[in-house]
Amino acid sequence: MQGFVAAIYLVLFAAPSTFSSHGIVAASPIYNVINYGAIGNGVDDDTQAFVKAWGDSCGDSGARGTPTLVVPGGKKFKLSPVSFKGPCKSSSFIVKIDGTLVAPSSPSEWKGCSADSWLVFQDVANLNVKGSGQVDGQGSLWWGGAKNNNKTVSQALSFFHCINLVLSGLQHINSPKNHISISGCDGGTISNLRISAPETSPNTDGIDISSTNHLNIQELNIQTGDDCIAINGNSSYITITGVSCGPGHGISIGSLGEHGISDTVEGVQVQHCTFTGSTNGARIKTWQGGSGYAKGITFDQITLNAVKNPIIIDQFYTNEASSVAVSNVTYTGFRGTSASDQAIILSCSSIGCLDIRLDNNMITSSTPGKTVTSWCKNAHGSATLTTPRVRCLLK
């Protein structure tokens, strides 16, 4: 009895927000996948249970509180490729993942599915995906070239057409391709994730963003075989703070303008990030023959530990007339070491990179006693208080 009373107190004081002003319990409706037949032994396929739980929870009006799809901890749920599609009836939606979601280990088990992604959330507004769980893409056979239905790779977790997405707390491992892909979204925060795959795994970007505006990314730890974060075309106002990256290919704007398309990226702020043993730090990468622009980009307070290309703009320029225009890019407060001799590379097409500013940067070699240099082509702007000296930008 005492335990029961204590439990009541615990509920009263630990979760006052579940009580309305009238003193009536208004707990969020919970849709636990176990109650829909999920087994969670890592062997049986639990996809249908998740689909049923999604159907019910997405159809909940939200009148009793925000519907919450619960994946309990201590269990491993094997899922085939599946889409969780909205719009849902409630104006907001919570997915709480404390257990492990695991992909089929063999691509042939993807059952003829031609999806680009293993798990998809689509057209859901105010979606909050959180928890202490793990999302395991079982990528190793895909990395070795295994195929399903002629498809060579698939990304693990995708969000399409989301408004105000919140994603936090989870651990993402071993995706066949991109771990997290965000496309066609507006608004949102991604925070406190750990993302990891072996340094040798191909195309395993941490977070891949495209056609998305107003996204806040903070406090992530990313170790992969490709870009830690890639910001692709038609994206704007993306802020990245407190990301620790490496091994991996760094934080990349692009590739933009591939196959002659027009891509635009504007208003990217990367600050207080640390790169360790990555192939790039701050990278802007465009293809020749494309069009559009990358502008209004700042990298500030960046710590480098033996990074191969700490600062790099690479337009792959040979002789094509058109290219994505790069302008108004600022690099400030870089501190640390470069693993290659050329710490700063500004390699631009004939239209030139304009208004490139470097100020207060100090990059030295990770090999004691060695000096590092910079290299430019068609770059314009200014460099102050920066080591190595960037001669092409000195007035």
Ligand X SMILES: *[C@@H]1O[C@H](CO)[C@@H](O)[C@H](O)[C@H]1NC(C)=O
CA dihedral of 362, 365, 371, 376, whole degrees rounded to 10: -70
Does 34 bind ligand X (CB under 6 A)? Our answer is no
Q: Which is nearer to ligand X, 88 or 251 (CB)?
A: 251
- Pick the closer one to ligand X by CB: 210 or 382: 210
Q: Are 258 and 290 in contact (CB under 8 A)?
A: yes
29 scored as a contact of ligand X (CB under 6 A):
no
Cβ–Cβ under 8 Å, residues 37 and 48? yes
Q: How far is the CB of 357 from ligand X (least distance, A)?
A: 9
209 to 248: interface string for ligand X, x by CB under 6 A = -xx--------------------xxx--------------
Interactions with ligand X, residue window 248-267 (CB under 6 A): 261-263
CA–CA distance, 40 with 334 (Å, rounded to integer) = 46
The reply to whether 259 belongs to the active site is no
| Interface with ligand X (CB under 6 A), residue from 149, 370, 389, 391 | 149
Q: Is the distance from CB of 337 to CB of 367 less than 8 angstroms?
A: no
Nearer to ligand X (CB atom), residue 31 or residue 142: 142
Spatial separation of the C-alpha atoms in residues 25 and 17, rounded to whole Å: 9
- Give ∠ CA 172-186-268 in degrees, rounded to 5: 80
- Dist. CA 206–CA 177, nearest whole Å: 9
Identity of the residue, 97 or 268, whose beta carbon is nearer to ligand X in the bound complex: 268
Distance between CA atoms of residues 12 and 10, nearest Å:
5
Query: For ligand X, which residue has the nearest CB?
Result: 233
CB of 328 vs ligand X, minimal distance in Å: 4
Answer yes or no whether residue 178 interacts with ligand X by CB under 6 A.
no
Least distance between ligand X and beta carbon 147 (Å): 9
Tokens matching residue 228: 């830690």
In the complex, what is the shortest distance from the CB of residue 218 to ligand X, in angstroms, rounded to a whole number?
A: 18
Q: Work out how close the CB of 170 gets to ligand X at its nearest, in angstroms, rounded to a whole number.
A: 25
For the bound state, the minimum distance from the C-beta of residue 232 to ligand X, rounded and expressed in Å, comes to 5
Q: What six digits make up the tokens of 98?
A: 């404390």
Backbone torsion region of residue 340, taken as left when φ is above 0, otherwise alpha when ψ lies between -120 and 50, otherwise beta: beta
Give the x/- contact pattern for ligand X in 91-130, rule: CB under 6 A: ----------------------------------------
In degrees rounded to 5, what are phi and psi of residue 3? -60, -40
Contact present, 351 and 364 (Cβ < 8 Å): no
Residue 80 binds to ligand X (criterion: CB under 6 A): no
The nearer residue to ligand X, 166 or 215, going by C-beta atoms, is 215
140 is an interface residue for ligand X by CB under 6 A: no
**CB half-sphere exposure, 121, CA atoms < 13 A:** 26
Binder of ligand X out of 66, 298, 301, 347 (CB under 6 A): 298
Q: Strand locations in 161-308, DSSP E?
A: 163-168, 171-173, 180-183, 186-196, 207-210, 213-223, 229-231, 235-245, 251-256, 262-276, 280-286, 291-307
Smallest distance from ligand X to CB 197, Å? 23
Binding residues for ligand X, rule CB under 6 A, total: 13
Q: Which of 1, 2, 13, 150 binds ligand X (CB under 6 A)?
A: 150
Name the residue nearer to ligand X (CB basis): 32 or 210: 210
90 or 211: CB nearest ligand X: 211
Q: Which of 161, 172, 179, 249 is catalytic?
A: 249
Tokens of 8: 């009541």
* Interatomic CA distance for residues 354 and 252, integer angstroms: 19
Indicate the pairing of strand 213-223 with strand 76-78.
unpaired
Footprint of ligand X (CB under 6 A): 149-150, 210-211, 232-234, 261-263, 296, 298, 328
Catalytic residue numbers, as ranges: 249
